[in-house]
Copies of this chain bind each other. A is one copy, B any other.
Amino acid sequence: MNLRDLKYIVAVADEKHFGRAAEECAVSQPTLSAQIIKLEDYLQIQIFERHRGNLIITPAGAEIIQQARIILDHAEQIHKISAFATDRFAGTLSLGIIPTIAPYLLPLILKKLASQLPKLTLQLKEAQTHQLISDLKDGKIDAMILALPTEETTFKEIDIYREDFYLAVPENHPFAQKKVIQTDTLDGESFMLLEEGHCLRDQTMELCRLKPSQIGQSLRATSIETLLEMVRCGHGMTVVPELVTKQGRGNICFIPFAKPIPHRRVGLVFRQTFSRQDLMVKLVETMQGIL
Contacts and interface: CB of A to CB of B under 8 A. Distances in A.
Q: Number of contact residues on A: which range applies?
A: 35 or more
Contacts of A70: 74
A110 to B, nearest CB: 21
Contacts of A63: 81, 85
A33 B43 CA distance: 28
Contact of A64 (B44, B50, B82): B82
A273 interface: yes
Contact of A82 (B4, B44, B154, B271): B44
Contact of A56 (B43, B75, B81, B139): B139
List the number of copies, as a whole number: 2
Interface in A53-75: 54, 56-60, 63-64, 67-68, 70-71, 74-75
A234 B266 CA distance: 115
A63, A75, A85 — most chain B CB neighbours (10 Å): A85
A291 interface: no
Given A1-B3, A75-B1, A78-B43, A275 B67 contact: no
Given A46-B275, A71-B75, A51 B85 contact: no
Contacts of A58: 85, 275
A58 B46 CA distance: 41
A77 B85 contact: no
A45 B247 CA distance: 43
Nearest to A69: B74
B81 A74 contact: no
A130 to B, nearest CB: 17
B51 A271 contact: yes
A274 B56 CA distance: 9
A237 B4 CA distance: 65
Contact of A92 (B59, B85, B271, B273): B59
A60 B68 CA distance: 24
Contacts of A273: 49-51
A246 interface: no
A160 to B, nearest CB: 23
Contacts of A154: 51
A74 B67 contact: yes
A2 interface: yes
Nearest to A62: B81
What 10 A-B pairs are tightest by C-beta distance, nearest first? A60-B85, A56-B139, A46-B275, A43-B82, A45-B82, A49-B273, A63-B81, A71-B74, A67-B74, A67-B78
Given A54-B138, A71-B75, 9 more contacts: A1-B3, A2-B4, A3-B3, A43-B82, A45-B82, A46-B275, A54-B137, A71-B74, A74-B74
